[in-house]
Amino acid sequence: MPVFDFAQEEKDNAKAVKTYVTFKSDEPDATVERPILVLQKKEEMAHHICGTFTNPITRTSFEINTENGVVSSDILRVDLRFVSLLGWLGENHIPVRLSGAITDEGYAVYKIRETGIGNGKLSSDDGFLQFMLERLFASNAPSEEETDEDEVEDGDDMKLTSIQSITDFITCAGRTFPDNIRLWARRNLAVAKSAEVTIEERRHAQRALSIMTSIQWKSDYFEAIDPVEARRILDEELYGLESVKQRIMETVIQVNRTHTLPSYGLLLCGPAGVGKSQIAYAVARILKLPWTTLDMSSINDPEQLTGSSRIYSNAKPGIIMEAFSNASTSNLVFIINELDKANSGKGNGNPADVLLTLLDNLGFTDNYMECMIPTMGVYPIATANVKADISAPLMSRFAVIDIPDYTVEEKKEIFKRFSLPKVLKRMGMSPEECQVTEDGLDAVMEKFVISTGIRNVEQAAEHLAANALYQIEVDKVKNVVFDREMVNKIS
């Protein structure tokens, strides 16, 4: 770990002393019991103390401003996530106010606020510091490795889309970034700041940095999932389909044992309208991950997925990279709709081939970003109507779940228990105002539910409810009971 030596003058004879030890923590916030750092006790310490992180005597310390002058207090312990941030605060001599309390161990600090104005270093005064603290609290603790001091970045005087804020963010994030992205960021910062490249190259580098720093890079460790809650979500979203629910629950139990995502994603195959996308959304809810969709039927060129090279002035990232950026996290569910349409590329290649690296979880490279994006936290769920239209390499990267169509009896239950009550609630109608007899329900199935899936079931419920509402409002009846004869009269 580094020793914070923030003195401006060079000291030939002084030897730097690191006074602190680091500890790992994944707590989402700080308290006196779970502090950001611990300082050596001093009589001058109160609930709030003001000063700067500095090192005038080559010791890792905090200088406290008191009525009687400046008092130096050694840093004893530091949360590993905040080492780089404290280093940045000290290097830029940014005055801060610490909030803490005296404990047996020392002065436990649980809050840091910036107090200086006009120092020319902060991107947005205290706003940037609080943003950094929030992001670091949400980060996983990095591994304890020695820092190469040659890798330290110097800030400049320009302005999280500006070069200054990007520089500050990367410096403060430290090793909470994956190593390859941290090195990539330094190279792109050099391009964005260089006067020896074109304006277009600097603009592309700055845009790529802005996208990359907007993503919260998480580890591939997943907390255990409550199987009872997982089953409740499945029962809430799906009627029947017990074999499908069983396969999903097996995936949940696997995550609980390994704390990692399964090696293979899910491929949901079945006729249109049976609820494949709904199952995918339910899995995302169970995993507690954000989700994004890729509609393969609208992708004709691999470049739409991989992005375009920066040699073009109108270059931009691909859809996959934009999905990471929009989700603001590296752990998410990719829902790939209509995978069986992925082989019909009309451009310079096959879009299906691009998906292979994403599905292998070995990392994905975007042509615009020019960087390998870790994909260990990505869980792909694909949907398809016809398995025969999916290439063998793609099929081999999924665990296939066949979704059968619902039987007529199941569609009746869905109509009575889910579709009609949902429509009535949305229209502000009570269940007594629109009722369907058993023979009326048979007529609904025969007349309106003629295709696969349950979309026709929902449309039929909408049709009957709208007809009942019309009779109640226009004909002034109190309620409507649909039997076979009334259903057959509806056009």
Give the tens place of pLDDT for each residue, 403-415. Answer: 887 788 888 888 8
**Is 220 within the bounds of a domain?**
no
Whether 352 and 391 have beta carbons less than 8 Å apart is answered as yes
Q: Is 371 helix (H, G, I), strand (E, B) or coil?
A: strand
What ranges make up the beta strands (E) of 93-204?
Answer: 96-102, 107-114
Quickly tell me which residue has 């073009």 as its tokens: 312
89 and 196 share one domain: no
Give the tens place of pLDDT for each residue, 11-63. Answer: 445 566 778 888 988 888 999 999 999 999 888 788 899 988 875 455 788 88
Rg over CA atoms, the chain:
30
SS3 labels along 217-236: CCCCCCCCCCHHHHHHHHHH
Entry pTM? 0.66
| DSSP conformation letters of 223-280 | ----HHHHHHHHHHH-SS-HHHHHHHHHHHHHHHHHSS--SSEEEEE--TTSSHHHHH
245 and 390 share one domain: yes
**Is 237 within the bounds of a domain?**
yes
Quickly tell me which residue has 């603009």 as its tokens: 203
What contacts 18, CB < 8 A, 6 or more positions away?
A: 1, 2, 3, 60
**Is 29 within the bounds of a domain?**
yes
The last residue of one of the domains, among 364, 382, 402, is 402
Quickly tell me which residue has 């950094």 as its tokens: 132
The last residue of one of the domains, among 372, 402, 432, is 402
Residue type, 428: G
Residue 29: C-alpha distances to residues 81, 134, 135, 139 (Å): 12, 8, 11, 11
Residue type, 253: I
396 and 260 share one domain: yes
The last residue of one of the domains, among 213, 238, 262, is 213
151 and 290 share one domain: no
The H or E element containing residue 47 is none
What contacts 222, CB < 8 A, 6 or more positions away?
A: 255, 259, 260, 261, 287, 331
Quickly tell me which residue has 């994944």 as its tokens: 26
Q: Which domain holds residue 350?
A: 227-402
367 and 316 share one domain: yes
Residue type, 99: S
Whether 457 and 405 have beta carbons less than 8 Å apart is answered as no
Per-residue pLDDT of the chain (491 residues; tens, 9 = 90+): 455 555 544 444 556 677 888 898 888 899 999 999 999 988 878 889 998 887 545 578 888 888 888 888 889 999 999 988 888 888 888 888 999 999 999 999 999 998 865 454 555 567 888 888 988 998 887 766 544 444 433 333 333 677 888 888 888 888 888 888 889 999 999 999 988 888 899 999 999 998 888 888 888 788 888 889 888 888 877 777 788 888 888 888 888 888 888 888 889 888 877 778 888 888 888 988 888 888 887 787 888 888 888 888 888 898 889 888 888 888 888 898 888 887 655 556 677 778 887 887 778 888 999 888 888 888 899 888 888 888 888 888 888 888 887 788 888 888 888 888 888 888 888 888 888 888 888 888 888 777 777 778 888 888 888 988 988 888 888 888 888 888 888 86
d(CA 337, CA 358): 15
d(CA 125, CA 157): 13
332 and 424 share one domain: no
Task: Determine how many CB atoms are found less than 10 A away from the CB of residue 271.
Answer: 14
290 and 345 share one domain: yes
Q: Which two tokens stand for residue 305?
A: 């997925």
Tell me how many domains the chain contains: 4
205 and 252 share one domain: no
Whether 479 and 435 have beta carbons less than 8 Å apart is answered as yes
Whether 299 and 319 have beta carbons less than 8 Å apart is answered as yes
390 and 427 share one domain: no
**Is 22 within the bounds of a domain?**
yes
